[in-house]
Structure 1
Amino acid sequence: MRVAAMRMEFFLPGVTSLKEKRMLLQSFKDKVDNDFNVSVSEVENQDLWQRSVIGVASVSSDKNQLEKIFSAIIQRADETHGMELIDRKVNYY
């Protein structure tokens, strides 16, 4: 069994309120969860308007499958309008 956990730090340049931030992040989290069947949660900076840290976790029997999933999630983050991925780190266990 392989477990992967990813920490993604975002800058949200156009966000002017916590309500806007929640709406943008909820849409992103729902799409990632539905498309890749992973656990997704905001884990830091909940009280800051233009910053967010998202945690993503998944379990698989194959590390290569986890690498493909996390690469696709990173690409999705890069393509999401209104969010700039400024840092990421993936750990495999």
Structure 2
Amino acid sequence: MNVGTLCVRFRLPENGSLKGKRKIIKSISSRVGNKFNVSVAEVDDLDRWQAATLGIACVSNGRRHANEMLSKVMDFIEVIRGDAEILDYEIEIITL
């Protein structure tokens, strides 16, 4: 069994409140979760209204499949991100 994780850090330069941040991140999270059937959660920068970190996870029977799926998720996020600027991201595949 392979667990794939994707950690994406965002900067929200046009945002002015935690409520605005929540709207942007919730939109990205729900669209990614619905399209790819992966788990999505905000995992860091919870009290910072101009920054956000999303953690995304999937389980697969193959390392290659998990990596391809998370790469597609990242491509999708780049298209739908709106005003959120992607600072960096990291994909990690763990074999259990």
Task: Give the TM-score, by structure 1 length.
Answer: 0.94
The alignment's C-alpha RMSD in Å is: 0.9
Runs of 4+ in 1 over 2 A off after TM superposition: none
Deviations 1:41-65 (A, max 9, x none): 0000011111001101110102222
What is residue 93 of structure 2 aligned with on the other side?
A: 92
For 1:77 and 1:83, locate their aligned partners in 2 and report how far apart those are by CA, in whole Å: 10
**Between the two proteins, what is the percent identity of the paired residues?**
32
SS at match of 1:14: coil
1:76 Cα shift?
1.7
SS at match of 1:52: strand
What is residue 3 of structure 2 aligned with on the other side?
A: 3
Q: How does 1:1-93 map to 2 (within 5 A)?
A: 1-79=1-79, 80-93=81-94
For 2:71 and 2:10, locate their aligned partners in 1 and report how far apart those are by CA, in whole Å: 16
SS at match of 1:82: coil
SS at match of 2:32: helix
SS at match of 1:49: coil
- Which runs of 5 or more residues in structure 1 are unaligned? none
1:70 Cα shift?
0.9
**Which moves more between the two structures, 46-55 or 63-72?**
63-72
For 2:73 and 2:88, locate their aligned partners in 1 and report how far apart those are by CA, in whole Å: 13
Q: What is the aligned length?
A: 93
Paired amino acid for 2:59? V
1:17 Cα shift?
0.7
- Which runs of 5 or more residues in structure 2 are unaligned? none
1:38 Cα shift?
0.6
